[in-house]
Chain A
Amino acid sequence: MPPRRKIHVLAQEDFDRLLAWLDEDRERAGIAYERIRRRLVTIFAARNCAIPEELADETIDRVARRVSDIGQSYTGEKAAYFFGVANNVHHEYLKRPSQPEPERELTSEVSDRERTHNCLEQCLKRFSPDLRQMILRYYAQEKQAKVHLHKQMAEELGITINTLRLRVLRLKEKLKPCVDRCLERTDLLK
């Protein structure tokens, strides 16, 4: 699936060139693109930037525009190139006059607990009983009881706790788009 993109910021041909630079196969290139974008967002967020997504997109835009110049001649790690450009973007961001924090509209950030619960219930039904039970059990406790429970679950499955956490994370990644779509549908019905 081609990655989402703000086409109005970057010319289509620059974007296509970027994907081709990342990988010859467009599908794999799209995955690489999303992976790099996500990691850049994390990097900018870890630098305490108020607009990490915007800075990540700016970084990618600049790399995309330079690919036509460096594409064939660049032989190093592509990640290192992105990193270098990200540093430049970050330095420029720090020099900007301090901006007020971006306003988030209340309606877009509101998460109605009741609706989320209902959507969650519907989406969990799509999982097999074993996976549903695993994720619900993982989230059932808190504090020390949670720690003991996770240890117990990992032992039962014969895996490490980190592997258990990773499995639950992957389950949540499948759950999230279903819940988001359900909430959008209920938004439209309001």
Chain B
Amino acid sequence: MTEETRPPTAGSVISDEELRSYLLCRLDDNRRSEIDQLLLADNRVAERVEVAESQLIDDYVTGDLGSGDRELFSRSFLTTDDRRQELRLSSALHEYAGASTRGNVAEQARASWFAGLSQLFSSQPALGWAAAGSFAVLLLVIGLTWLLSTRNSRPGPPLVKQEPPPAISPPPDSTPAEIARASQPSPSVESKQTPESVAPVAVVTAVLVSGTLRSEGEMTRVAVPRGERDLVRLTLTLESPSPGPYQVELLTAGGQTVAVRNNLKAQANQTIVILEVPARLIHGGDYQVKLSRRIDGQTESVGRYYFRAAPE
């Protein structure tokens, strides 16, 4: 048996931190070799390594890794199909569980408010009815005041439909930030009725320009609505008009794909490509959009766009 295959010394305890270092490829060769052998031969060690892998992935998903570890995670840990798939699953679980928790909290808040009201009526009915009556009178007064004020006010100009501002061609010497600010008055919010829904759906539109630099002052900010059916519409400006078809991939700053759309056509005289994404997929933080085009079976990168999302 060679030096390399001599089993590690009995009783060598492996800490969780060592296991993490092992997985991130930053352990010294001797200790790494010891753990290699234990991993192959000892089921308990193998189980701990599995748990450590899962824990590392979960910590990456929740942003609990330092920048150094995040770099090692992407470069050295995420090298197998199984790990990439587990990352996808953990990420989905975290987002889904987070959304479920928010829904439950809102429901509980509603339930506790209603329960409080019911208790008031049952324990002190006189007080409850008095409060209800006062509230009704208040509503009546507010309603009458509003009615009278609208009747007495002068008729204003006829209502006009508010059109979205026309696309502005930026002057040739503008910086990307100036172009973005000029062509984006403020993220416009429109409501549209979807056939399936009763409540209007908010659509936030943001215009993005392909950027070579991403810096604090230049990144477009997008306020992301929080409704279940709300949408974020990203208008990607093309540096040179071309029909496409295009593929658009939306990723987090860490490189995790959020959504992909294929076979998109350019619009507005082939100057823009529009990507629409459910708002619930976009959380706070920096995002990048990769735009590419298929030509003769080859994929050609067209541009990268960046924005910073902030929940409303």
- Contact across chains for B96 and A120 when beta carbons are under 8 A apart: yes
- How far apart sit A54 and B117, CA to CA, in the bound complex (Å)? 65
- How far apart sit A105 and B7, CA to CA, in the bound complex (Å)? 40
Q: B90 contacts which chain A residues (CB < 8 A)?
A: 139, 172
- Asked if A110 is an interface residue, CB under 8 A from chain B, the answer is yes
Q: B281 contacts which chain A residues (CB < 8 A)?
A: 113-114
Q: B36 contacts which chain A residues (CB < 8 A)?
A: 43, 46, 83, 86
Q: Count residues on chain B whose CB falls below 8 Å from chain A CBs.
A: 62
- Asked if B40 is an interface residue, CB under 8 A from chain A, the answer is yes
Majority-rule SS of A interface residues: helix
- Contact across chains for A117 and B84 when beta carbons are under 8 A apart: no
- Asked if A27 is an interface residue, CB under 8 A from chain B, the answer is no
Q: For this complex, into which size category does the number of interface residues on chain A fall?
A: 35 or more
Q: B11 CB to closest chain A CB, in angstroms? A: 18
- How far apart sit A45 and B94, CA to CA, in the bound complex (Å)? 25
> What residues of chain B have their CB less than 8 Å away from a CB belonging to chain A?
1-2, 4-5, 7, 22-23, 25, 27, 32, 35-37, 39-41, 46-51, 53-55, 58, 62-64, 76-77, 79-86, 88-98, 100-101, 247, 249, 256-260, 278, 281, 299
> What residues of chain A have their CB less than 8 Å away from a CB belonging to chain B?
35-36, 38-43, 45-53, 76-77, 79-80, 82-84, 86-87, 106, 109-114, 116-117, 120-121, 124, 135-143, 146, 162, 165-166, 168-169, 172, 175-176, 179-180
Further pairs besides A83-B5, A136-B93: 11, Cβ < 8 Å: A38-B82, A45-B83, A120-B92, A139-B94, A146-B64, A175-B89, A176-B85, A176-B86, A176-B89, A179-B89, A180-B85
